[in-house]
Structure 1
Amino acid sequence: MYTFSSKLKTLSIVLMILGILGIGYGFLNAPKNTADVEKILKDEEAHHGGGHHEAAAESTHEMPKVLSAEEHHAAAQHEEATHEVAEAAKDTASVKLLDTISVDSTKVAVAPVEEEHHAEAKTAHAEEHHLTAAEEKAHHEEHVNHVLHQLQNKPWSALYVACIFVMLISLGALAFYAIQQVAQAGWSPVLFRVMQGITAYLPVGSVIFFVLLVLCGLHYNHIFVWMADGVTEKGHENYDKLVAAKSGYLNFPFWIIRAAIFLIGWNLYRYFSRKNCLAQDESSDNSFYKKNFNISAMFLVFFIVTESIMSWDWIMSVDPHWFSTLFGWYVFASFFVSGITTIALVTLYLKSKGYLEHVNNSHIHDLAKFMFGISVFWTYLWFSQFMLIWYADIPEEVTYFWTRIELYNLPFFGAVVMNFVFPILILINSDFKRLTWIVVMAGIVILFGHYVDFFNMIMPGTVGDRWFIGIPEIGSLCFFIGLFLLVVFTALTKAPLLPKRNPFIEESKHFHY
């Protein structure tokens, strides 16, 4: 039986406490109103531009960087109107001069008419100038409100990304466990209790995540723009034609019911598969093993459907105008390799503490092969999705990647390096797959890389260019990692680490590759 190390338990609790402090800091420092945003924008101007921005604010030829594209357009109109007014004034002065020096009666008669015409033009331009200034003010207010929503979303989004990522790690491990059951794999039964320990986080993570989804629906944040008031009502200022066309599917009641079905279904399989596995240890026949085989086969059918829909509901709908037919597989590859990597890391930790005596280098080698293979599979999907959309250059599709390349350049391409370049260079060598420190190093990089992948999928649609991996993001990740460690290693103490009566346990004990 495994005994939970006091040092590891302390570490998990410390991570949770630090995480709570970081999450609280993020919410407390989020702006509460537009006045706070105005101050933040002014501070950014002073920090980035200094005296240059102060001079630019006073000039009609250069606007501060905080202006949006629409505001820049309004500013250009403002400048043009000012120039035309000046020209009109200059023309009027010329006519007055002509009136003064003219002795011809006809010219004297025409001069006042010309002057009146230019005066009217001047008045019209002045009115246009006034309207442009009003429009500019409206655009600025709209921009400030938009930034307010982005900055208020930031701590929520950090919490959301960490929560869904860590929960899906346990789901990935559960899917891998089910595949081993259905495939009747002979190499992996010595690892079953490790997999079951990792999946023990799924119920806890599911409850927290479901609460987050409910809070989204109750408008505690603006993560999902299709939930905004009036977005499906014609004539409303928030009306969105494309979102309205999807309202039969994208509506909160149906959305949250689907979420409940998915989470309950996954957790029911997790509960019964573990129950049958433990019962098999005390059984005189293979009846519980056969039950596990049957429910695992049914679960995989349920899983492959619900996983795709889950990825649309919880991630892709953050950008409701965009869609990809590959997205479900792409998300699956990301959390599946993360789940396998976590199995490898937990196994190596337990092995280092003297447990899992029947786990040998061949088992580690196979886990590392899956880490390598699924990393390549993820890259294939990443490239296929990106290349097809980028090459087609359809505006409503390519905008998704344009935003990420322009605003998230480092994390966007950094994820490719961490999730493909690094694993393929390190794990392509067969001997390296048997070295503990190599597998641990590769595993840590892969896990962080796929966290960044989820960050890239969610953050651009919720916080725009206001992203930064700071205290809220690190705090959220620390909290869920700490909770994960506490739940998983507590679960590992509840049952022997070796399934005794699995039909393939002897083959697994003596597995050699």
Structure 2
Amino acid sequence: MAHVDVDINNIQEQFSFSGDLKKKILGIGGLGVLVLVIGIVMLMFGGGHGHEEHHAALEAAANVASVASDGHGHAADVAAHAEGGEHHGGFHWTTVLKTNLWMNAVYFIGIALLGFFFFTIQFAANAGWSTPVQRIMLNFGRFIPIGGAILLVAFLIGNHDIFHWTHSYLFDPTSPEFDPVIKGKEGFLNLPFYLVRMVVFVAVWTVFFFMLNKLSTNEDLHVGSTVHFRRTQRISVAFLIFFGVSESIASWDWIMSIDTHWYSTLFGWYCLASWLVTAVSSITLVAVILKEMGYLKIVNENHFHDLGKFIFGFSIFWSYLFLAQFLLIYYANIPEETIYFIERLRSGNYFWIFVTMLLFNFVMPFFIMMTRDAKRKTMFLKIVTVVIIIGHWLDFYLMITPGVLKENGGMTLSAIGMGLVFLSGFAYVIFNGLTKAGLIPQNHPMIEEGIYHHT
């Protein structure tokens, strides 16, 4: 691709968040509210889906347990866990709403965090190609404190409905509901420590965002200086160290602890991959939207090509982790592990979601993004990024909802409406944040490399 000369001192663009884009984003939110209200009315008057499928899943789990038991009482543990799951998953329409709220808060704060993570990676790796789109990545961090606040409220109002381990009687040896497995995790799964972890993680992530955002905007004012760039590099490395620990623990806390008896040593990586590919897809989609609006004039098909390669690569990475976790559990056939997938595959309410999720997250990105041209065409990028965002929303739905609602957790209008409301709010925060400073970093020492990037 031929390059044209660009005046480095005259590349700044100021984004104006108004007109059709704002109307479309607010329209999505309005549609979400309408669907949510209809969904709530249907839940209030329609009730649950019945318990036949859940009892079938419990019976299947007991059968697997009896066959695969290693003689140490594991079959009994799984049966007790299954019965306990029905107890804590008692159906009420408000529980569905609390679960929808929690699931969407977790999903979107993860996208915000991983978008910001992708920004810090650029500085830690001394990457120059991404300079023209780094402000997009950075602004994903604006949703972290908002998502954290929603997450805290959702936990405070729904912890007993969503998290079985929050019931105090489970830790009391004199109680008929005493659970020795959950009691063994009391040092980690207890309300004070859990809330401290949540608040500290979100607070530290937020502090890192505001520090790096300030450095990025201040860099625009200092011509010929690399002081802000070097500080950004150092702080980015510090963030990555903290992120490496906190992201995994957050995924255990916010998602895996819902199925308290079940665990996977791969789970932190699995959530990382799911959030990351969604974040990169969202960054790409925002860049495409801005480009089609006439902004980001220095961004060309070479930049989109690299973003497309990341989308393709991270989709394969997620697929590898999914298959590794699934096949190991399937092959080992240990009751404590298989119950997780039995609940998701034996129920008609979840099986179609499971298949759709695999289609959206692996099959379509793999075949559409395989060619070089597809990564360089905005039409293909828009299709794939939207598909991935929906697909991984379904992924998180499957990670969270079956553990709480059991057979009552099939896809509902309330879940879709809540997702659209969150999507609208998330997009509004990102695009509104882009108005706070120029779209293109000024005085970045690698801006010229970013402008003349070629693949």
TM-score calculated relative to the size of structure 1: 0.77
- 1:17 and 1:330, CA in 2 relative to 1: closer, same or farther beyond 3 A? same
The corresponding residue for 1:277 is 216
Match of 2:302 among 362, 375, 384: 362
Question: 2:271 and 2:110 mapped to 1: Cα distance?
Answer: 10
Asked if the contact 1:150/1:466 (under 8 Å) is kept, the reply is no
**Matches of 1:312 and 1:186, distance apart in 2:** 34
Residue equivalent to 1:286:
226
Could you tell me which amino acid in structure 1 is paired with residue 16 of structure 2?
T
When Rg is computed on C-alpha atoms for both structures, the one with the higher figure is 1
Counterpart code for 1:295: I
Residue in 1 that maps onto 2:9:
none
1:296-322 deviations in Å (ceiling 9; x for gaps): 001001001100000100000000000
Matched, 1:492 2:431: no
**Counterpart secondary structure, 1:378:** helix
Deviations 1:212-256 (A, max 9, x none): 122234x4xx10010124111123233211111111110011001
1:185 maps to what in 2? 127
Residue 278 of structure 2 aligns with which residue?
338
Aligned residue in 2 for 1:396? 336
Q: Indicate the residue corresponding to 1:108 in structure 2.
A: none
Pairing 1:310–2:250 present: yes
Aligned pairs (5 A) from 1:426-441: 426-441=368-383
Q: CA deviation at 1:10?
A: 2.3
How far does residue 27 in structure 1 lie from its aligned partner after superposition?
5.0
Does residue 504 (structure 1) correspond to residue 442 (structure 2)? The answer is no
Asked whether the equivalents of residues 312 and 366 of structure 2 are also in contact (C-alpha less than 8 Å), the reply is: yes
Task: Give the residue type in structure 2 aligned to 1:423.
Answer: P
Rate the CA distance shift 1:356–1:143 in 2: closer, same or farther, 3 A: closer
Structure 1 distance, partners of 2:322, 2:97, is: 27
Paired position in structure 2 for 1:423: 365
TM-score (norm 2): 0.86
Q: Secondary structure at the match of 2:231?
A: helix
Change (3 A) 1:162 1:496: same
Which of 257, 260, 275 aligns to 2:199? It is 260
Equivalent residues of 2:39, 2:412 under 8 A apart: no
Residue in structure 2 matched with residue 54 of structure 1 by the alignment = none
How far 1:435 sits from its partner (Å)?
A: 1.0
Alpha-carbon displacement from aligned partner over 1:245-275 (angstroms, at most 9, x marks no partner)? 1111100110010001110111111111111
- Partner residue of 1:123? none
Q: Is 2:290 aligned against 1:350? A: yes
What do residues 159-212 of structure 1 show as CA deviations (whole Å, max 9, x unaligned)? 221221122111111111010010010100111111122322222222112221
Could you tell me which residue of structure 2 aligns to residue 106 of structure 1?
A: none
Q: 1:461 aligns with which of 396, 403, 406?
A: 403
Alignment of 1:19-58 (within 5 A): 19-24=32-37, 26=39, 30=43, 40=47
Partner of 1:202: 144
Unaligned ranges ≥5, structure 1: 46-63, 73-141
CA distance in 1, matches of 2:170, 2:41: 29
Q: CA deviation at 1:356?
A: 0.3
Of all paired residues, the percent bearing the same amino acid is 35
Do the aligned partners of 2:15 and 2:434 also contact (CA within 8 Å) in 1?
yes
Q: Does the CA-based 8 Å contact 2:251-2:268 persist in structure 1?
A: yes
- Which of 19, 26, 32 is residue 6 of structure 1 equivalent to? 19
Aligned to 1:247, which of 186, 192, 208? 186
Distance 1:194 1:214 in 2: 32
Quote how far apart the aligned CAs of 1:71 are: 12
Instruction: Quote how far apart the aligned CAs of 1:148 are.
Output: 4.0
Deviations 1:46-94 (A, max 9, x none): xxxxxxxxxxxxxxxxxx958946999xxxxxxxxxxxxxxxxxxxxxx
* CA contact 1:228–1:238 (8 Å) conserved in 2: no
SS in 2 for 1:343: helix
Shift of 1:6: 2.2
Residues 468-483 of structure 1 aligned to structure 2 (within 5 Å): 468-483=410-425
Q: Distance in 2 between matches of 1:302 and 1:486?
A: 28
- Where 1:493 maps in the other structure, the secondary structure is coil
Distance 1:194 1:209, change over 3 A: same
Residue aligned with 2:171, SS = coil
> Which whole-Å CA distance do the structure 2 matches of 1:354 and 1:381 have between them?
38
Is residue 193–residue 499 contact of structure 1 (8 Å, CA) maintained in 2?
yes
Contact 2:308 2:375 in 1 (8 A): yes
Distance change >3 Å, CA 468–CA 66, structure 1 → 2: closer
| Alignment partners' CA distance in 2, 1:438 and 1:30 | 37
Give the CA deviation at 1:414: 2.1
Q: Which has the higher contact order (CA 8 A, sep 6+)?
A: 2
- Equivalence map 1:49-68=2 (5 Å): 65=52, 68=55
Answer yes or no: is the 8 Å Cα contact 1:233–1:239 preserved in 2: yes
Asked if the contact 2:116/2:139 (under 8 Å) is kept, the reply is no
Change (3 A) 1:11 1:69: closer
